[in-house]
Structure 1
């Protein structure tokens, strides 16, 4: 508040100025760090778009090995980019979760894509450790957050119903059974968790609908007598 003569009061005490100077340096440092992180995250987004473009071809009845090999070409790029993120945060000990939100969404997408590729190749779930290994991450330094992994797995399940419908339409009548068994086991495994993250819980709920849609395709194929001998569920 100005004094009676209209003049501005004298500056704050030296100790207060020093404190706010420290705040200024911290904020500028944090902003600079976030700019560097964002630059890498934009490259990750670009790589995932290319992977997604390749993976979409699997829904067009293109040979799975061909589609997966093409998509896997970008994994090395992703590994390099996550290495860059790790280097950026190397000097910010204990600050992982302060900046984690800047790459959380992109990482969930990456896990989903890696998981879908792995399933297409093996019919099994890509483990948390397996995903970390593909991205060159180290749990003790710069790791893959557990919830990001689980949400990514849920996103992966969202691709399954479309895949099943297209494969069955193309004449692969055993695919619905395989996917149904996989999603049934995955859904049961998720039910073991006490989900406190609202977004993760919502994504898990969506898996129930993925399972239901795949189940409908399976029973439709079965009713039509198109299931191969010995191809009953389980």
Structure 2
């Protein structure tokens, strides 16, 4: 009797498994390098908590150097990942992309990432489209299956920035920059109000949004303490 199963079936499956293993191996190499660049940039950015605002220019130039390497690696990731189904592999890079986004948003908020049309100023918030332009990749793709930055990744990156800024509000007061704490308070409150209007379906994102209220409360306590001590700078100072 002829075999009930075509012997070539498992040869074909073996080939597909080997191809998938090769793809994952090359993807891991790209992501390892991206992770190193992101970790370096995060490390430099962490120095804002002990650096006076007057010395941000030098610090942010180092941060932008790290971000440029992130941009290069995200470009390589986009080129490679776009050859394969997006949702098959996106779980491998989404956290790293969120971290890369947060470094860019925080750097811009602190006055970095300036251009001729957008001069550096503290408090500037980059939009999702700005992030796409900086990394030179599409955002929120709907018409084709390719690498892109999602709305969820942008929002999660933004929440990470809120956490960092709430810490900076405390440390800026320690450094004698009370105005920074007041500015951060207003910014975080505005973001919190904005998040409240979103109809979020992503469970992870919804839980992270719930944590913003603790950052708001933390910064409000700092500003309240400054107001009791009559240390809040008056407008124009």
CA distance in 2, matches of 1:215, 1:124: 21
Equivalent in the alignment of 1:191: 196
CA distance in 1, matches of 2:126, 2:67: 14
Q: CA deviation at 1:151?
A: 0.7
Q: CA deviation at 1:194?
A: 1.3
Q: Which of 28, 34, 48 is 1:58 aligned to?
A: 48
Equivalent in the alignment of 1:19: 9
After TM superposition, list the pairs within 5 Å mapping 1:2-17 onto structure 2: 12-14=4-6, 17=7
CA distance in 1, matches of 2:22, 2:51: 46
Counterpart secondary structure, 1:196? coil
Equivalent in the alignment of 2:174: 169
Counterpart secondary structure, 2:211? helix
CA distance in 1, matches of 2:82, 2:90: 13
Q: CA deviation at 1:185?
A: 0.9
Give TM-score scaled by structure 2 length.
0.86
CA contact (8 A) 1:124 1:182 kept: no
After TM superposition, list the pairs within 5 Å mapping 1:86-105 onto structure 2: 86-92=78-84, 95-105=85-95
Max radius of gyration: which structure? 1
CA distance in 2, matches of 1:152, 1:90: 22
Give TM-score scaled by structure 1 length.
0.87
Q: Which of 100, 109, 124 is 1:119 aligned to?
A: 109
Alignment length, in residue pairs?
219
The structure 1 segments of at least 4 consecutive aligned residues displaced by more than 4 Å after TM superposition are none
CA distance in 2, matches of 1:185, 1:193: 13
Equivalent in the alignment of 1:229: 234
Determine if the alignment matches structure 1 residue 45 to structure 2 residue 50.
no
Q: Which of 190, 214, 220 is 1:209 aligned to?
A: 214
Equivalent in the alignment of 2:131: 131
CA distance in 1, matches of 2:24, 2:95: 15
User: What are structure 2's unaligned runs of at least 5 residues?
Assistant: 112-120
CA contact (8 A) 1:176 1:215 kept: no
CA distance in 1, matches of 2:78, 2:51: 38
Q: Relative to structure 2, which stretch is displaced further, 44-53 or 17-26?
A: 17-26
CA contact (8 A) 1:55 1:71 kept: yes
User: What are structure 1's unaligned runs of at least 5 residues?
Assistant: 1-9
